[in-house]
Chains A and B, each alone.
Chain A
């Protein structure tokens, strides 16, 4: 087996509060805490979780767009945490990013050709005007845009087209690793599927490793090989996609899956409605950070933090009762418990 393209070791990020005049701040927001995982060549790892759970921060930590406060990141076997700014820049050829906001992530005063060619020029992969434009045309074709648009400005494009431009920029240097931070959440629903399919096709064709950050579980199911579920900066469950969807072991994963709308007429799973809000990442609960909302929390959960432990082939969950807790199924689904009905009744 080949070495993983990306490896995160005990990665953490604490955004410290502003210190006083004479003292450094002791407190802060623990956005990511002790996250470890690997992504193999050509593998798609999807990271899911609620807003504020640290998934975007995790993506930026892997590319060192944010400096981690602890832990290490390896790219193609080399540790990139601790590289000098100049050497890190060279590594960016192998690790690119697609951002969440296609409206903000394109410089408004530059043309499409200038935007797409930028990474190519940085790494000296094209020489001269003609070659640059040929390469840009080729990339535009790959992302399904007409080559005639290369001299237009971003404002002349729709959100979906802009995201295609962002994708073209990311794949231009043939990276071995791409992070996509909720790449379709800013787009119209009607456009999302097209962009998702485009990324899916490109990923299969070019075989780059892909960290796909999302909160849409249907999209993840379509794209991912493996899924990591994050809660308050930690991975609570990680595993092969099929295992996660068919046999989720962590109560949070189960709640997430049960809350996802499905097109199937017959729901077999009861909706698990979590109580309360996500606790502030400024005051993460002791022990298992999920215990304050967990339907099966016991005394031990308030005291002891469960490690991410294997619960089956290619699957690990961080729960004291991951093995014992059965997957909630009812043969007779109660319509009142179903989300849309509940909402209709209560509002």
Chain B
């Protein structure tokens, strides 16, 4: 019955996604930010072809080497190529950076929309759990869970997802509660739509803007937090590389060579800034008053 819900052959203007992209790319800051993000994603994907060396292979003949033609960023205290580790490290950092906020947005968003739309006992339950989780700062919560679960890639993803979920749930709940009172939701009820369809078609698209903005902001936070957790030794576990543990290992070795810390720190700064700028632009674009 619902198969005909979306007219496929709209001869009209491009869809929202295309419009948003075009608006972002039209401004210099947006163009630069998108280019940076795309560049880093490409680096992460093409890591095996881009990295000049195996990021794990040690060489005790060249420890803490300064940059040379063979090792563009030098080597670390095990003689591993810093550039290769940086390139492979971008995989862990970026995947965690994108994956955990996205998971958190899905889980938290769903919980928030359900709580906000149905209210009552559901709302109270969800809200209490959110309040409890929000009582802890994200980093403290992440450290607590990581300490209990131990490190490792999937644990870091889980930790950050749990840490971010309450924020998404709260924003989704608040937005849903206001959208629910809009006349078009009542009109949808009067038209005879089922509740799940009303939520998917009329509520979710209209609360998407704040969620997307939050998503970009927390992608930056996730990359930063992964670095922090790795730096503290409960994130990505050596010998696997991430930007965070490159800095951690580089710190104990900073007087021998400072290249690992500088390079990884710069990579984090650039990516986080680019994503933050994107978030800022998204907020302006998705504001229904403007667009």
> Considering the chains assembled together, what is the distance between the CA atoms of A124 and B5 in angstroms?
11
Give the nearest-CB partner of A131 in chain B.
B4
B7 A132 Cβ-Cβ under 8 A:
yes
B193 A109 Cβ-Cβ under 8 A:
no
Say whether B2 faces chain A, with CB atoms less than 8 Å apart: yes
A105 B7 Cβ-Cβ under 8 A:
no
Extra pairs beyond A105-B187, A122-B191, A133-B7 (12, CB < 8 Å): A63-B190, A65-B189, A89-B192, A89-B194, A105-B183, A114-B5, A121-B1, A122-B192, A122-B193, A129-B9, A132-B4, A169-B191
Mark interface residues in B174-206 (1 if CB within 8 Å of A CB, else 0): 000000001110111111111000000110011
Mark interface residues in B274-291 (1 if CB within 8 Å of A CB, else 0): 000000000000001000
Instruction: Give the total number of A-B pairs whose CB atoms are below 8 A apart.
Output: 87
> Considering the chains assembled together, what is the distance between the CA atoms of A121 and B191 in angstroms?
10
Q: Could you say which of B5, B6, B191, B194 contacts A96, with CB atoms under 8 Å apart?
A: B191
Say whether A128 faces chain B, with CB atoms less than 8 Å apart: yes
Give 15 CB contacts A-B under 8 Å. A92-B191, A96-B191, A97-B187, A105-B184, A106-B187, A109-B206, A111-B12, A118-B188, A122-B1, A122-B192, A124-B1, A129-B8, A132-B4, A151-B10, A151-B12
Say whether A273 faces chain B, with CB atoms less than 8 Å apart: no
A122 neighbours in B (Cβ, 8 Å): 1, 191-193
Give the nearest-CB partner of B6 in chain A.
A114
A:84-122 near B, CB below 8 Å:
89-90, 92-93, 96-97, 99-101, 104-111, 113-114, 117-119, 121-122
B192 A90 Cβ-Cβ under 8 A:
yes
Question: In this complex, which of B4, B6, B186, B201 has the most chain A Cβ atoms within 10 angstroms of its Cβ?
Answer: B4
Give the nearest-CB partner of A151 in chain B.
B12
Give the nearest-CB partner of B10 in chain A.
A151
A126 B7 Cβ-Cβ under 8 A:
no
Q: Which 6 A-B pairs have the closest CB atoms?
A: A92-B192, A151-B12, A104-B183, A105-B183, A119-B191, A107-B184
Say whether A152 faces chain B, with CB atoms less than 8 Å apart: yes
> Considering the chains assembled together, what is the distance between the CA atoms of A123 and B194 in angstroms?
11
A126 B190 Cβ-Cβ under 8 A:
no
> Considering the chains assembled together, what is the distance between the CA atoms of A104 and B183 in angstroms?
5
Question: In this complex, which of B4, B186, B187, B202 has the most chain A Cβ atoms within 10 angstroms of its Cβ?
Answer: B187
A152 neighbours in B (Cβ, 8 Å): 12
Min Cβ gap B1→A in Å is 5
> Considering the chains assembled together, what is the distance between the CA atoms of A105 and B207 in angstroms?
16
> Considering the chains assembled together, what is the distance between the CA atoms of A107 and B185 in angstroms?
8
A118 neighbours in B (Cβ, 8 Å): 188, 191, 193
User: How many residues belonging to B are interface residues under a CB distance threshold of 8 Å?
Assistant: 29
> Considering the chains assembled together, what is the distance between the CA atoms of A111 and B201 in angstroms?
12
> Considering the chains assembled together, what is the distance between the CA atoms of A89 and B16 in angstroms?
31
Mark interface residues in A231-274 (1 if CB within 8 Å of B CB, else 0): 00000000000000000000000000000000000000000000
Say whether B11 faces chain A, with CB atoms less than 8 Å apart: yes
Say whether A341 faces chain B, with CB atoms less than 8 Å apart: no
A:272-311 near B, CB below 8 Å:
none
Say whether A343 faces chain B, with CB atoms less than 8 Å apart: no
B1 neighbours in A (Cβ, 8 Å): 121-122, 124
B183 neighbours in A (Cβ, 8 Å): 99-101, 104-105
B201 neighbours in A (Cβ, 8 Å): 107, 110
> Considering the chains assembled together, what is the distance between the CA atoms of A107 and B183 in angstroms?
9
Min Cβ gap A50→B in Å is 22
Give the nearest-CB partner of B1 in chain A.
A124
Min Cβ gap A180→B in Å is 12
> Considering the chains assembled together, what is the distance between the CA atoms of A152 and B13 in angstroms?
9
B10 neighbours in A (Cβ, 8 Å): 111, 151
A65 B190 Cβ-Cβ under 8 A:
yes
Give the nearest-CB partner of A103 in chain B.
B183
Give the nearest-CB partner of A100 in chain B.
B183
Min Cβ gap A219→B in Å is 21
Min Cβ gap A318→B in Å is 30
B186 A99 Cβ-Cβ under 8 A:
yes
Q: Could you say which of A109, A114, A169 contacts B16, with CB atoms under 8 Å apart?
A: A109
> Considering the chains assembled together, what is the distance between the CA atoms of A128 and B9 in angstroms?
12
From known contacts A114-B7, A129-B8, infer whether A104 and B191 are also in contact, taking CB-CB under 8 Å: no
> Considering the chains assembled together, what is the distance between the CA atoms of A107 and B199 in angstroms?
12
B186 neighbours in A (Cβ, 8 Å): 65, 99, 105
B288 neighbours in A (Cβ, 8 Å): 108
From known contacts A104-B182, A105-B186, A152-B12, infer whether A121 and B194 are also in contact, taking CB-CB under 8 Å: no
Say whether A24 faces chain B, with CB atoms less than 8 Å apart: no
B16 neighbours in A (Cβ, 8 Å): 109
B4 A108 Cβ-Cβ under 8 A:
no
Min Cβ gap A100→B in Å is 8
Mark interface residues in A318-347 (1 if CB within 8 Å of B CB, else 0): 000000000000000000000000000000
> Considering the chains assembled together, what is the distance between the CA atoms of A119 and B191 in angstroms?
5
